[in-house]
Every structure is written in structure tokens, then in C-alpha cells.
């Protein structure tokens, strides 16, 4: 099946936004929490810094590593979105469109913040 350039751009923006939602956003922290342990390090200046380290265990470590890697998660998110779109376009289109618009808005916000 062939997709148009517009579909490619929309899927790309949707993949970008969903990946960031899973890997970085506070609202999905509950999804990541079972796979990470917090490690606190105190710097020479006394300032504490929190690091999230994947938990031990075959599955928890694998999923922790996956969720800590933007590139790795992005591959699986993109694969899922593309298959969803190709197999059930009527169901997928509204979901993907919302993610794409949100992704575009996020990019615009970053550009605006850099201009200020």
C-alpha cells in the first residue's frame, strides 16, 4: 500500500507526539514507574539529582530500557501507528490526527519559546 506525503507527515507528527507522551510526559509517569527505580546523587555543591534506572529482572529491565530510550520507543510506536492506520484507517484516522496536531503544536511552542 502506498501513502501520500500528507499521510507520511501526519503519521510522523503523530509518532513524534505519542513517543514523547510515553517516554517523557508527566501524565504517563504511572506507566513508566513499575519499570524504574529512583537513584539520588548528591553533587559536590550539595544539590540532589534524581536518576531513573531500569529495575532488575528480565522483563522489567527490558521494558525499563525500552521506555528510557526515545529512539527505541519511537520505533515501536511508529510501527504500531502505521499498522493501526493501514489495517483500520477509519478508526485510526481521528486518533492519529489528534496526535499529529498536538505534535505540531508542541513544535510551534518550542519555536515560540526560543524566540522569546
> Across the chain, what does the average pLDDT equal?
93
Q: Given the DSSP bridges, would you call strands 48-54 and 36-42 parallel, antiparallel or unpaired?
A: antiparallel
For residue 51, name the pLDDT band (cuts at 50, 70, 90): confident
* Amino acid 1: pLDDT: 74
CB 65 within 8 A of CB 72: yes
As a whole number, mean pLDDT of residues 93-107 equals 97
* Amino acid 48: pLDDT: 86
- Kindly list the domain boundaries of the chain, sorted by start residue: 5-115
pTM, 2 dp: 0.85
Taking the CA atoms of residue 102, residue 106, residue 111 and residue 115 in that order, the dihedral angle to the nearest 10 degrees is: 110
Q: Would you say residue 47 has pLDDT above 90?
A: no
Q: Would you say residue 98 has pLDDT above 80?
A: yes
Amino acid at each position: 500500500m502506498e501513502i501520500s506525503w500528507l499521510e507520511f507527515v501526519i503519521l510522523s507528527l503523530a509518532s513524534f507526539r505519542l513517543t514523547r507522551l510515553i517516554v517523557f510526559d508527566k501524565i504517563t509517569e504511572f506507566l513508566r514507574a513499575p519499570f524504574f527505580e529512583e537513584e539520588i546523587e548528591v553533587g559536590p555543591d550539595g544539590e540532589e539529582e534524581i536518576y531513573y534506572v531500569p529495575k532488575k529482572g528480565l522483563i522489567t529491565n527490558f521494558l525499563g530500557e525500552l521506555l528510557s530510550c526515545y529512539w527505541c520507543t519511537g520505533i515501536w510506536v511508529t510501527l504500531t501507528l502505521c499498522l493501526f492506520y493501514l489495517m483500520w484507517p477509519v478508526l485510526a484516522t481521528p486518533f492519529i490526527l489528534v496526535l499529529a496536531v498536538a505534535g505540531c503544536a508542541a513544535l510551534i511552542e518550542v519555536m515560540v519559546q526560543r524566540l522569546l
